[in-house]
Amino acid sequence: MKRIALMGKSGVGKTEIAKHLADNHGFTRCSTGPICRDIATILFGEATKPNMQAVSDALIDLRPSIFLRAALARVDSASSTVIDALRYTTDYELARERGFMIIRIVASDEARRVFLQHRGEPFDFAIDGVHQ
């Protein structure tokens, strides 16, 4: 069983790498994003960045790593798993405690801008340049 957790800024390709590992190497993909998007959509009608940030800020105060804990609860602990995004220090700590190898993914701001634009997400260097 292999356990990998990816970390890096928005738009560096973490999800694409996780999909590749799942599609080509038998990993189970563990993603926190869908949980946060679902809650934001239920509460606000759409999962915009500000809505998702509001949900994240509120729930993280209830329990550190709440989204990662929820996502991991859906994964068979005996399977090779890739977490597609560690967003908080507590996520990093939880992944380490559970035996995940942490890999930091990096890309230039220009590559991130192009990738996020292709995904239909705006890229503002003042905000996304420092985004976790």
| C-alpha to C-alpha distance for 123 and 113, rounded to whole angstroms | 6
| C-alpha to C-alpha distance for 131 and 34, rounded to whole angstroms | 19
Is residue 40 within 8 A of residue 51, CB to CB? The reply is yes
This prediction's pTM? 0.84
Residue 125 has a pLDDT of 67
Provide CB contacts within 8 A for 15, sequence distance 6+.
31, 33, 84, 85
Is residue 87 within 8 A of residue 132, CB to CB? The reply is yes
- Below-70 pLDDT ranges, the chain: 123, 125, 127-132
What phi and psi values does residue 50 have, to the nearest 5 degrees? -60, -40
Residue 128 has a pLDDT of 56
Q: How many CA atoms are closer than 13 Å to the CA of 13, on its beta-carbon side? A: 15
